[in-house]
Amino acid sequence: MITVWNTPIAASVDQILRDLKMMFYAEGLLKDQNNTGSDVMVTCPFHKGGHERKPSCGVSLREKKTPDKTYEAGTVHCYTCGYTADLPTFIKDLFGMDNSMEGFKWLVGHYNYSANDREEISFDFYRGEDGKEPEMDGDQVYQYHQNLRNSLRAVRYLEGRCISREVMRLFNLGYDPSDDVVLFPVYSRSGNVLFFKSRSLAGKHFFNAKDVDKTAAVYGLYQTVDGGIPEDTEIWLVESEIDALSLISRGVLAWAFMGSDISDKQVKEMIRTPYRRFVIATDNDEAGRKAARMIKDKLIPYGFRFFNLRWLADVKDVNELIQKYGDDFMGYLHRY
Ligand SMILES: [Zn+2]
């Protein structure tokens, strides 16, 4: 029995950490746990992609009092990355919940009911904000993709944007003849198509699905995780899906946050992958530079490392650079 937020929780810190380890078994988080008598040292889930070699993150077994503060049992502190939180906040960050209150409710829900009415522990708990995520019909994605294969005009449009046929296939790009738009299915981390982004072949106008949360996913993240790409691979972070796909077509791994702003949900999605090495390739304008600064502010505290780029060409984004210079595009970017 421990006390969290002044509420008795019918479990020990040891037991809670063991249960969390089971829930994140597939991802290998909290894998090593070592009880020192005052703390449980665990492998920190928040740096090195959750796979540090020796446990350096301490979780206190009992309440600790200092002259000016009381730290409840379950207070977490990582001696490597500096992450510090109380137990509900730790649980929130681990699951990607929205706030610490949800982490607290999780504790109460799991340990303060009798065994009979306790809910089954779900092994795929994380489903975004409200526990559900919208899902597109897989047949629909397939049909759009077949349409694309049958429309030379749509394929040529994408080739004109420097996206290879192989990448069109890998990312299930589609075509909707009724609106004359090419479609980019956006996948959640667990592999559901959340929504489509689209571009009109006739004009430059973008259409976006309404009534969906477009800030919940990072474009390209699912395919990277699903493809088992090694965790030390460098990833370019860009604004639009077309930027990302034209880089990938040239053999450079890239993710897009689909805007000029990275959302807290996207930050959470990224933290929950093992990838930490990035190149910031936001647009070559003031908004792009502002976005780059914000992304670094949000992710560096979680152990992310970034290269910046200085543009040596007068173009607005990575896609335009590749259109203009083809395979030589890298020569017009200076890394620092
Ligand atoms: Zn850490």
Please name the residue that has the structure tokens 């904000």: 129
Structure token pair of residue 127: 């489903």
Separation of 307 CA from ligand 1 center, angstroms?
21
Q: Which CATH superfamily hosts domain 2-116? A: Zinc finger, CHC2-typedomain (3.90.580.10)
Q: For 85-196, where are the alpha helices, taking DSSP H only? A: 87-95, 100-111, 138-149, 152-160, 165-170
Separation of 83 CA from ligand 1 center, angstroms?
6
Separation of 54 CA from ligand 1 center, angstroms?
11
* pLDDT tens per residue, range 26-52: 788 998 999 999 999 999 999 988 888
Count CB-CB contacts under 10 A for residue 96.
19
Separation of 46 CA from ligand 1 center, angstroms?
5
Q: What is the CATH number of domain 138-335?
A: 3.40.1360.10
Separation of 301 CA from ligand 1 center, angstroms?
10
Of 56, 95, 25, 48, nearest to 231 by C-alpha is 48
Separation of 299 CA from ligand 1 center, angstroms?
13
Separation of 76 CA from ligand 1 center, angstroms?
10
Which residues is 174 bridged to in the sheet?
183
* pLDDT tens per residue, range 143-170: 899 999 999 999 999 999 999 998 999 8
Residue 4 scores a pLDDT above 50: yes
Chain-centre distance for alpha carbon 201: 30
Q: How far apart are CA 148 and CA 155, in angstroms?
A: 7
Pairing of strands 309-311, 333-335: antiparallel
Separation of 57 CA from ligand 1 center, angstroms?
6
- Residue 209's pLDDT is what? 53
Separation of 311 CA from ligand 1 center, angstroms?
34
Separation of 58 CA from ligand 1 center, angstroms?
10
256-275 mean pLDDT? 91
Structure token pair of residue 293: 């600064």
Structure token pair of residue 118: 């306790």
Structure token pair of residue 34: 């070592």
Residue 213 scores a pLDDT above 90: no
Pairing of strands 76-78, 57-60: antiparallel
* pLDDT tens per residue, range 87-112: 999 999 999 888 999 999 889 888 87
Indicate where the chain has its CATH 3.90.580.10 domain(s).
Answer: 2-116
Separation of 20 CA from ligand 1 center, angstroms?
17
Separation of 266 CA from ligand 1 center, angstroms?
20
Separation of 43 CA from ligand 1 center, angstroms?
8
Q: Structure pTM?
A: 0.60
Indicate where the chain has its CATH 3.40.1360.10 domain(s).
Answer: 138-335
Separation of 47 CA from ligand 1 center, angstroms?
5
Separation of 56 CA from ligand 1 center, angstroms?
7
Residue 114 scores a pLDDT above 60: no
Q: What is residue 65's three-state secondary structure?
A: strand
Concatenated DSSP letters of 68-83: S-EE-TT-EEETTT--
